Every structure is written in structure tokens, then in C-alpha cells.
Structure 1
Amino acid sequence: MFTGIVQTQLPLIELDHKSDFASFIFEFPAAMAENLQIGASVAINGTCLTVRTLDVNTEFTRVSFDAIGQTLKVTNLGTLAVGSMVNIERAAKFGDEIGGHPLSGHIMDQVAVLAVNESANNLVVWMQRPEHLAPYLLDKGYVALNGASLTIAEVEADRFSVHLIPETRDVTTFGAVKVGDAINVEVDAQTQAVVETVRRLLATPELLTALAPNNK
């Protein structure tokens, strides 16, 4: 599980891209790699990947991850190149403060950045609101974008916006976001559960009738 509080951004150091498979290597600072083990989960742009190898150095640890074809297709990891910056979050531990909202690291899709409006202390980013995700992208609802837990500020029929404070811009890759970027999306699990439950109820009129107060 992750919290959506991105801990740092790092460049991709090495990439081995094959058919339907890719290996990524990053250099984690010593503090970031503390107690990291092979098999641990790390969110890369919000995508849960498993540590494959560790090469420990006094100043940093080279950490490798593998991604299969489906992951490369659904997420923006398939477009990474050496030097690409990504958001990093280590898996949460029991007892950690949940500063964002609980995330699984399972990306549902990518959306394109449509507009970036920047001022001295605020950054407004408008993104696509595709039809299949629209029911879960609600005004003032949670959403994870490239692994960052954010609150949706405004919703229109085919797009939505988030407002980013300076801290978010400094710590995450959103400080360099631009029109056309593909952003990984994980919708809020609670919102998804409520929406899907209501859909099933509306599709089953007899169940709604059975649950009506007058029938109890």
C-alpha cells in the first residue's frame, strides 16, 4: 500500500527495453534506500513495481525494477527514456502517517494534460476526463496522478483540474509538467466502490424495492 505522498523524484539511469518487457535502474540516495530489500514494493509514477536487484554504494544504491508488457501499455512507464524523471514512493508501513489517501499502485489508465496555468504560488493543471473514468473523477474527490495524492478542484464534462502548491511542484515531477504529457491515474478505491455499488443497485430494481424502508 502507498499513501500518495511522493518522497522524491529521480532520473532513470539505465533502461533495457525489449519486446513486452523493460528493466529500469535508478540510483536511490542512501536515506531513501535504508532497509530496502529485494522483493519490496516501490511506486514509480504511482505504479507498484518490485525491487529486483540492489547494488549498494556508500552514497547511493542502484535499484532495478522490471515491468511486463501490460504494465508498459497501461502506464506511462513504457515511454520512459534514460534521464526521464519519475515520482518515487516507498511502500507504507503500519503506523505511518497517511498524509494522502490509501493507494494500491494499480494504474487504471493514462490521461493527457490539456492545459497548464501557472502563477507565482499556484499551478492549475487540466487533464482529460475520459468517459470510462468520469464516474470516479468527481468534484473535490481524491485522485492519484503519477502517484501523487491530489484533490480534484474542478470538473467539466470531458476534463478536470488539480491545483498544485509549491511543495508539490518542488517534490514531484509536476513542477515540469507540460501540455501533452501522459499522466498515470489511479482513482480513489472508496469512490470506485460506492459508484459500482450504486450502479448495481440501479441495474437491479427489485433489489432497490427490497431495500426500501416501507418493505422492512
Structure 2
Amino acid sequence: MFTGIVRGLGKVVKILKEKKISQWEVETSNELVKNLMLGASISCNGCCLTVRNIFRTIFCVDIVEETLRSTSLNTIIVGQYINLERSIKFGEEVGGHLVSGHIITTGVVSDKKELFSNQELWISLSASFFIKYFFYKGFVCVDGISLTIGSIKNNAFCVFLIPETILRTTIGQKIIGDVVNIEIDFYTQITVDSVERLLKVHPSKFINCIDI
């Protein structure tokens, strides 16, 4: 589990593709790799990956074909920076919201506006089906960053980026057409799915509950 609070950036220094797997080497800060263990989970642009090897400030991860196909990691090239977060420990502050690192879909940056030192970013979902899980002021995780939904229109939503987020993550450098990873809020998904099932199986009982 993660919190959506990016702890640092990593530079992809090597990508080795072998059959149905891609091996990455990511260079980051001493602080972020301190006490990092083999087999540990680490969020890379929102994707939960497993640390396979560590050498000084470089860690290695394996990315399977399915992950590459269903996320924006297939757009990353050597030299590019990604958002990183270590897995949360019990007792730590949850500054964002709980996220699993399991990407539900991707989105495309469709509009970007500069608002003084802030940014307004519009993202169109690649699969419009998932827009039902988006609510005004709800949570969303974009490339591993916990953000608040500012507005929703058709199959797109917007987030507002403060200077701190722009400075400490890669999202401020996104341009129109860039692909990003999207993880919806787990609790919102459970609530929406539960209500849909109840409406489908017992519509009259649901209406009676509302009347009460």
C-alpha cells in the first residue's frame, strides 16, 4: 500500500527488454534507497513493482508484458524521470489517501492551463467506463500522485496542481497528449459497485431505503 505522496524522483538509466518482460534500472537519491530491501514494493509512476536488485543508488525492477500493455510505463524511455514512493509502514502519516499501486486505466492530458503559480490539468480517460467512479472533491491517483478532483466533464476530469506538487513530481512537466496512469479510489469503487448491484438485484428495496 502507498499514500500517493511522492517521496522522490528516479531516473530510468537502463531498459532491457527480454521476450515478455522488461528490466529497468532506476537511479534515485540515497535517502530513498536507504534500507530498501530486495523484494520490497515500490511505486513507480503509480505502479506497484518489486525490487529485484540494488546497487548503491540504483534499484532494478521487472515489468511484465501485461503491466506494460495496460499502463503508461510503455511510453517511458531511458533518461526520463518517474515518481517514486516506498510502501507505507504502520504508524506513518497518510498524507494523501490509501492507494494500492494497481493501475485501473490510463488517461491522456487533454488540456493544461497556467494559473499564476498553479496549474489546471484536464485528463481524458482512455476507457470512459470508469468515469462513474469520479466525483467532485473525490480522490484520484495520477502517476502515483494523490490528487483531488476539481471538476468532471464527459469522460474527462481536472485536477489543480499547487507549486509543491509541480516542484516535487513529474506531473507539472506533462504536455497535451501525454499518457498518465490512473488509479481510482478503492472505497469509491466499492461503494459505486455495491449500489449498482443492489439496484440490479433489489431495486424496490433500494428505493424503500431512500424513502426512509
Same fold (TM over 0.5): yes
Could you tell me which residue of structure 2 aligns to residue 197 of structure 1? Answer: 194
Aligned to 1:134: 131
Counterpart amino acid of residue 195 in structure 2: V
Distance 2:207 2:110 in 1: 43
Q: How many residues align?
A: 210
CA contact 1:23–1:64 (8 Å) conserved in 2: yes
Unaligned ranges ≥5, structure 2: none
Aligned position for 1:3:
3
User: 1-side partners of 2:19 and 2:176: how far apart?
Assistant: 29
> Residue 51 of structure 1 aligns with which residue?
51
What amino acid is aligned across from residue 119 of structure 1 in structure 2? L
Identity over aligned residues, as a percent? 37
User: Normalising by the residue count of structure 2, what TM-score does the alignment of the two structures yield?
Assistant: 0.94
1:90-169 correspondence runs (5 A): 90-129=86-125, 130-169=127-166
Q: When the two structures are superposed, what TM-score results if normalisation uses the length of structure 1?
A: 0.92
- C-alpha distance in 2 between matches for 1:158 and 1:80: 25
How far residue 20 of structure 1 moved from its aligned partner, in angstroms, is 2.4
* Aligned 8 A contact 2:8 2:28 in 1: no
Report Cα offsets for 1:32-90 as digits up to 9, x if no partner. Answer: 1111000000000000000000112xxxx210000100000111111211011110000
Gaps of 5+ in 1: none
Q: RMSD of aligned C-alpha atoms?
A: 1.8
Amino acid at match of 1:85: Y
- SS of the aligned residue for 1:92 comes to coil
8 Å contact 2:14–2:26 — kept in the other structure? yes
Residues 32-111 of structure 1 correspond to what in structure 2 (within 5 A)?
A: 32-56=32-56, 61-111=57-107
Shift of 1:205: 2.3
Whether the aligned pair in 2 keeps the contact of 1:20 and 1:72 (CA below 8 Å) is no
Q: Which runs of 4+ in 1 moved over 2 A?
A: 208-213
Once the two structures are TM-superposed, the CA of residue 196 in structure 1 deviates from its matched residue by 0.2
Q: Which residue of 2 aligns with 1:26?
A: 26
SS in 2 for 1:115: strand
Letter in 2 for 1:197: S
CA–CA separation in structure 1 for the residues paired with 2:135 and 2:18 = 38
Amino acid at match of 2:97: H
Aligned residue for 2:94, secondary structure, equals coil
Distance in 2 separating the partners of 1:157 and 1:39? 41
